[in-house]
Amino acid sequence: MGLSNQSVPKGHQTPLKSEEAIRSAVKNLVEEVHVVDVHTHLFPPNHGKLMLWGIDELLTYHYLVAEYFITAPATITPEKFFALEKQAQADLVWDSLFIQRSPISEACRGVITTLTELGLGELVERRDLDGVRKWFAKQTPEGYVDKVFELAKIKYVLTTNIPFEKKETVHWYPKTKEFDTNRFHTGLRVDQLLTGNWESIKEALDEMGIEHTIEGVKKLLEKWITIIKPKYFMAAVPPTLEFPSDEEMSTYAPSTINSATLLRRVLLPLAEQHHLPIAFKFDSVRPINPALREGGDGVVTTKVSTLQKLCLNYPKVKFLATFLARVNQHELCVLANKFGNLHIYGCWWYCNNPSIVEEITRIRVELLGTAFTSQHSDARVLDQLIYKWKHSKAVIGGVLQDMYVKLFHAGWSLTREEIQRDVERLFGGAYEEFMEK
Ligand code: FIX
Ligand code: ZN
């Protein structure tokens, strides 16, 4: 007896008939989906010089600067390099990584993809850096935001806003200038709490005339919650930080200020009271070569159990998490499979390479289905949205094709609409559902 038409769910009327049809639908849907970029370091145009864009910023991205120094002559020290004007720094990187050798690393290829997508293929073909600079000189920050968001197919990005950095806070306090809050959602970045960086916390307290106490730090963050209206707190977790036990906490006087008390007496209570998730980043170590500045940070393997303790002990707090160490990815997935208050996002930094994105995405889909956010860009330079999303989509799309084809051969028919629904989840919808919980 055949199925009556009424028992077929809405949207399942026209299943895709072959492996080829499925592959082509997935490819197209992933290419076309508009993404929520859940973590970037971008700033909107009202932040003036903090908004980074253009070829010289692309060429001096810290990934490329670190790569440049593997090749640089001994006479060009990091001190000398950073003392140069930005354009002169960019010239050195261009000559070394794009002219003296082929730009085959992921970060170098990213520059080429970006320029090509912007329509500058002919200038690239002629290796005409000057011509590229002339093209960028004709763009305006506002017009360029429109162009990049359209090309990269971005719904909105999350920004990183540090309440302890005066160069940033001046754009918000005492008077906030207008910007497009539909495109730029904010995130309150609080690494200083977990590193126990009391000097910079004190400066921020003084700036607002707040007392130097644990309660004062809470007040400071509450003011910033009101000012920037963040979607979440975010912090990179130092490798030395372990979740402090109740017993350890009981040894601290209520006025003790260190990373353990700032975590348990400030950050976690605030997250619960204000219903703000905390987005953690694990496994970075800063710096392993300070001379390289932002490019000098490294990767270590930390304990995934720190996150497990947080999820278990704070069921009312929602955690987003990403890990930098490749070896931690499997354990992280198992953890996410056990806790509804945990959401995994992106393939971070040294994991944002096609080989690793592919491996991580396969593990995630196999263990979590569509309940995770497949990628974030971590873009610091606006233009990077173009290549980071194009490259990631190519890899994630390929993995998804394989997954759907396997499902098809297992006996499950699929429509384009069903695949579209899933793809939208993986590129932002699952994040939004988690945030809504
Ligand atoms: O901590 C972070 O948010 C990191 O993403 C950055 O600090 C890092 O420098 C970066 O740009 C990685 O992509
Ligand atoms: Zn980042």
Nearest-5° Cα angle at 150, 281 to 160:
25
Pocket test for ligand 1, best of 285, 297, 347, 353 (most atoms within 8 A of CB): 297
> Ligand 2 centre and the CA of 213: distance in Å?
29
Site to probe by mutation for ligand 1, drawn from 42, 349, 351 as the one with most ligand atoms within 8 Å of Cβ, is 349
At residue 268, the pLDDT reads: 98
Confidence bin at 331 (pLDDT 50/70/90): very high
Helix axes 384-410, 141-152, angle to 10 degrees: 10
d(CA 47, CA 57): 16
Distance CA 65, CA 297 (A): 12
**Residue to probe by mutation, ligand 1, list 162, 299, 378, most atoms within 8 Å of CB:** 378
Atom of ligand 1 nearest to the CA of 348: 13
Res 2 pLDDT > 50: no
pLDDT, mean of residues 55-65: 98
Q: Using the Cα atoms of residue 291, residue 293, residue 296 and residue 301 in order, give the sign of their dihedral.
A: positive
Alpha helices in 33-77 (DSSP H): 55-59, 62-71
Nearest ligand 1 atom, CA 234: 3
Atom number in ligand 1 closest to CA 349: 13
Q: What percent of the chain has pLDDT over 90?
A: 95
Q: Which residues line ligand 1 (CB under 6 A)?
A: 236, 281, 294, 349, 378, 380
DSSP 117-158: HTT-HHHHHTT-HHHHHHHHHT--HHHHHHHHHHHHTEEEEE
Ligand 1, closest atom to CA 295? 9
Mean pLDDT of 83-112: 98
Pairing of strands 298-299, 284-285: antiparallel
User: How far is Cα 67 from Cα 287, in angstroms, rounded to an integer?
Assistant: 16
- Tokens representing residue 327 in the block: 């070896």
Mean pLDDT of 167-186: 93
Q: Which amino acid is at 338?
A: K
**In the prediction, which pLDDT does 6 show?**
62
380 alpha carbon, closest ligand = 1
Mean pLDDT of 404-417: 97
> What is the arithmetic mean of pLDDT over 164-171?
97
Task: Give the strands of the sheet with 154-158, arranged side by side.
Answer: 35-37, 154-158, 184-185
Residue 428 binned pLDDT confidence (cut-offs 50, 70, 90): very high
Residue 177 binned pLDDT confidence (cut-offs 50, 70, 90): confident
Nearest CA to ligand 1 atom 13: 349
Q: Give the side-chain half-sphere CA count within 13 A for 435.
A: 18
Measured by CA distance, the residue closest to atom 2 of ligand 1 is 236
Atom of ligand 1 nearest to the CA of 189: 3
- The bound ligand whose nearest atom lies closest to the alpha carbon of 349 is 1
d(CA 107, CA 109): 6
> What was the pLDDT predicted at 7?
72
Does the pLDDT at position 244 exceed 60? Answer: yes
String of DSSP letters for 220-263: HHHHHHHHH--S-EEEEPPTT--PPPHHHHHTS-TT--SHHHII
If you take atom 1 of ligand 1, which residue's CA is the nearest one?
A: 236
46 backbone φψ class: left, alpha, beta (φ>0; ψ -120 to 50) = alpha
Q: Note the pLDDT of residue 272.
A: 98
> What are the DSSP calls for 74-107, one per residue?
TTS-HHHHHHS-HHHHHHHHIIIIIISS---SHH
**Cα 418 from Cα 29, distance rounded (Å):** 11
